[in-house]
Amino acid sequence: MKKVITYGTFDLLHEGHLKLLQRAKALGDYLIVGVTSDSFDRGRGKLNVKNNVLERVASVKATGYADEIIIEDYLGQKIDDIQRFDVDVFAIGSDWEGKFDYLKEYCEVVYLPRTEGISSTMLRERQDAVYRFGIVGSGRMARRFIPEAKVVNGIEICSVYNPAESAEAFAEEFGLACWSDNYEEFLESVEAVYIASPHLSHYEYAKRALSAGKHVLCEIPFCLKRSQAEELFALAASKNLVILEAGKTAFCPSFNHLLTLVKSGIIGEVVDVKTSLSKMVSAPTRELDATQAGGAFNEHSPLPLMAVIKLLGSEYSDFQFHSKVENGVDIYTKLDLNYPHATSSITLGIGVKTEGNMVISGTKGYVYVPAPWWLTSFFEIRYEDQSRNRKYFYSWDGDGLRYEIQEFMSMIVNGRKNSYKLRHEESEAICGIIENFNSKVNYKEL
């Protein structure tokens, strides 16, 4: 008996799936269909699947082509399945041409013609209400945002704003319908904005967008003053709009899993958090320009502060900054932030290289997250008795912005104004600490 195996998500089952299954079945006598589990799809960054795994299995079953249906739940499973089920042919659509050649060591690999003009993505887009997004700024973050937004349902990026450089070239490169160098005109064409402009402009752009009735997703540092953050949240509430700080690590599944493990007491009571982040840059650049709020702290502190505040709260008792300054900006800053029950420290460099890891020490054990901890693709829970240590691995898709975009969209669609992943109070506390740094409160120069 010739056994054939194929895999897919099979979301909103369509004509293309039917033809693929029919062709795969015709390659042999017995067809096994692997349907991805919900967590496997989420883990590989496919966040927009509509049908859950039970529904997807049921629709594959209803086609009548599958002799057996299995669940695909982990990376590398295909090799295991092919050997376990003694499979003769692995078949997949031609959109994967070449990607599965490594399976030729185990069985025959066949790329079947893909049906043109239909896909689950297309059907999902037809189902969803689509929100018109505009990007404020056309730099590095804006470029990353566009491919990431594509994997989230309900977003159409239709415009870009930039007062200085030409937004036109950016719009053309990414196929956006509009561009503008006039902010009011730009706001008229969109329902929500992603602010990825230089630090000093965040507050002003966010305020004007909210005043014009637009939802706001704002890059880090959200604001450089606590009062500005409070004002923006109050303004958004008064206008029934969503505003969210785009602190990407706070929204990624691996970091959230780490938090829930720690909060559930896996390392006992948390007594210390040490975290670090550095990226070397060379002048001339905005990051080293004092007039543009450059420097290690403004540039790098929001994510480490988020992690400390998530783990220890915002009721700290005392703090001290130590900075090494060159040409008016801190090329290195260490913040010690102490709590009545715990200590923490954050080490940041822009002209000094630091390790970039995070260690959370508790009364029963500790968590080690290697550099770059803010991508959290791996962490280990360690104990005195090393046989109890556990390692956790995650795949991090793309640039990881998709998780914050998905949360932002879910807040808009469901009318949710606050996110437990990064609460307004937490964003305000982060801005408050940044303000203290810039006002040189408890500040010593090295």
Residues at the contact surface with ligand CTP, assessed by CB under 6 A: 8-11, 16-17, 20, 92-93, 95, 114-115, 118-121
* Amino acid identity, position 414: N
The answer to whether the beta carbons of residues 144 and 401 sit under 8 Å apart is yes
When CB distances to ligand CTP are compared, the closest residue is 93
Report d(CA 139, CA 243) in Å as an integer: 21
- Phi-psi map region of 289: left, alpha, beta (phi>0 left; psi -120 to 50 alpha): beta
Please state the length of the chain.
446
CB 257 to ligand CTP: min, Å? 24
Tally Cβ neighbours within 10 Å of residue 94.
13
Determine which helix (DSSP H) or strand (DSSP E) holds 321, and give its type and residue range: strand 318-326
Nearest residue (CB) to ligand CTP, 47 versus 350: 47
Report d(CA 181, CA 405) in Å as an integer: 24
Nearest residue (CB) to ligand CTP, 44 versus 417: 44
Tally Cβ neighbours within 10 Å of residue 197.
23
The answer to whether the beta carbons of residues 210 and 235 sit under 8 Å apart is yes
CB 48 to ligand CTP: min, Å? 8
Nearest residue (CB) to ligand CTP, 48 versus 278: 48
| β partners of residue 338 | 318, 343
Residue 399, φ and ψ in degrees, nearest 5: -95, 0
Nearest residue (CB) to ligand CTP, 92 versus 224: 92
CB 46 to ligand CTP: min, Å? 7
Nearest residue (CB) to ligand CTP, 20 versus 157: 20
CB 407 to ligand CTP: min, Å? 20
CB 78 to ligand CTP: min, Å? 12
Nearest residue (CB) to ligand CTP, 149 versus 369: 149
CB 150 to ligand CTP: min, Å? 11
Nearest residue (CB) to ligand CTP, 71 versus 118: 118
CB 52 to ligand CTP: min, Å? 14
CB 24 to ligand CTP: min, Å? 8
The answer to whether the beta carbons of residues 66 and 34 sit under 8 Å apart is no
Helical axes 140-149 vs 402-414, angle rounded to 10°:
60
**Cβ neighbourhood burial of 322 (10 Å; 0-12, 13-18, 19+):** middle
DSSP three-state, residue 46:
coil
Nearest residue (CB) to ligand CTP, 156 versus 272: 156
